[in-house]
Amino acid sequence: MPVTHGGGVALFPGQGTQAKGMGAGLFDRYPEAVALAGDVLGYDVARLCLEDPDGRLDDTRYTQPAIFVVNALSYWDSVDRGEPPADVLLGHSLGEYNALLAAGAFDFETGVKLVAQRSALMGAERGGAMLAVVGASVQRLEELLAENELTTLDVANRNTPSQNVLSGPVADIDRAREILAAQGLRVAPVRVSAAFHSRYMRSAREEFAAFLRGFRFAPLARTVIANATARPYRDGEVASTLSAQLDGAVRWSDSVLAVLRRLPAERFREVGGNGLLTRMVRQIETAPVPPVPKPRRVFTVAFAGGDENSYRPLGEHLRDVELVPLERPGRGRRYSAPLVSDPEALVADLTGQVREHLREHGDEPFAVYGHSLGARLAFRVCRQLRAEGLPAPVRLVVSGECGPSVPSRERDTWQLTGDAFWAHLEQLGGVPRQLRQYEDLMAHYERVLRADFTVLGRYRHHEEAPLDVPITVVTGDGEPFTEADLVAWQRETTEPLVRYRFPGDHFFIRAHWAELAHLIEGANP
């Protein structure tokens, strides 16, 4: 059966990709958006792009709004033609505004206003220059600048492992051009009016930050990788991250690598543009990077009512990875222990089991997996490991649950009584009908299930720094989760979130053990 990987990765180009005729065929398809952009900007953006009658397309004040509009129309067009919306979005410098637009941080009109102000501030700057350099890493480039007393220059764009852009005063850029060319490096001036993405843009950054205080940004519905940090944007930090981009380096190579560690290059698609970003991705992909260690074992946390045998079929599909169930009290091999319905006590118990294994096996890499209630508890175990200074997993795989900051849909299940309780569980698909023929077993499982659902009812999420652990989220296509429910997991990790959707209802995992095993091992299903 097919597995849905989501919409992959969308790349939005920035300044430098403008060309007369860009957007041809798009403006007539989206007349309302084009008219709205014209009202905000005060000129005909379609005429600027298609005809450029006044030669303004290379003027930063006009270039950036034009590219933003064309990028937006191109993305809408791709989705309207059947491309799925991307799950991960990256934009190069200006293109980051299109990534945020696609992620729902703001609407199109707001985006045009933001870009218009950004371009006005950047276009007003004078006295600087930029220089593209090919053939040296950032480290080697910085060494050469230091050796030649050119520390007045900043590495503004880190585009690929061997292609970077310097930014700074004109005289120093001219001197660097001669010195670097003499070193056998390829150099080329960039057509700009100022030292963009450098310390010399600090006043523009401060003015833009003040401008951004007049806007409110919505929670992101997709993962957006920030140029300034090469990490996912965090809700509540959109304004500060955008302003930091003005005088900070565009860490494009690092941003792409962060995604390539989780998704293959064939999942990337460039929106609009001229293929420049796609070529960069290919160059970045070939750079040597440390491999992600394969886990030697996976600690599993069962769903409500589950025990150490719940994931036994999963273990049969794991290759060279030991499955280590974290058993909750009152079931399985811990049948005689009292049931625990307090979330904090349960997390402490589960973490203690991991701690004992870590003492025995040292620094061997491991993964953590949980389904439904087990997903929330697995996440909390990872947090507790961090709090105790213990090793972190190489990955956390969760299934059948929304992000932990979103209240569980089952938080009130423990309060259902009698037949209503069992009818609800049968609807979830987790309890076989024949169990109701055995009153003694029903009585036992009801105690276990009520304890577990009480944990969900008492579960409280507390905001903390995100984990430095990659999170993979897997759901069934018959589950009632919204995009917001699932993207909430992005708030809990500094790595790009990866999502998969399998055919099936809440217990889809029972038909997809092999695919889950591949995800835990670090492979694609």
Tokens of 468: 């430095």
Angle between helices 60-80 and 108-124 (to 10 degrees): 150
Distance from C-alpha of 52 to C-alpha of 420, rounded to nearest angstrom: 68
Given the residues 74, 92, 119, 197, select the one marked as catalytic.
197
Q: Is 310 a catalytic residue?
A: no
Is 512 part of the annotated catalytic residue set?
Answer: no
Separation CA 461–CA 458 (nearest Å): 10
- Give the amino acid at 337: A
Burial 339-369 (b: 16+ CB within 10 A, else e): bbbebeebbebbbebbeeebeeeeeebbbbb
Residue 388 DSSP symbol: T
Q: In what order do the strands lie in the sheet with 128-134?
A: 154-160, 163-169, 128-134, 186-190
Burial 442-476 (b: 16+ CB within 10 A, else e): eeebeebbbbbbbbbbebebeeeebbebbbbbbbb
Q: What is the DSSP letter of 522?
A: T
Which residue in the list 74, 78, 93, 119 is annotated as catalytic?
93
| Nearest residue to 162 (alpha-carbon basis) of 289, 17, 284, 15 | 284
- State how far the Cα of 3 lies from the Cα of 192, in Å rounded to an integer: 46
Q: Which residues are catalytic?
A: 93, 197
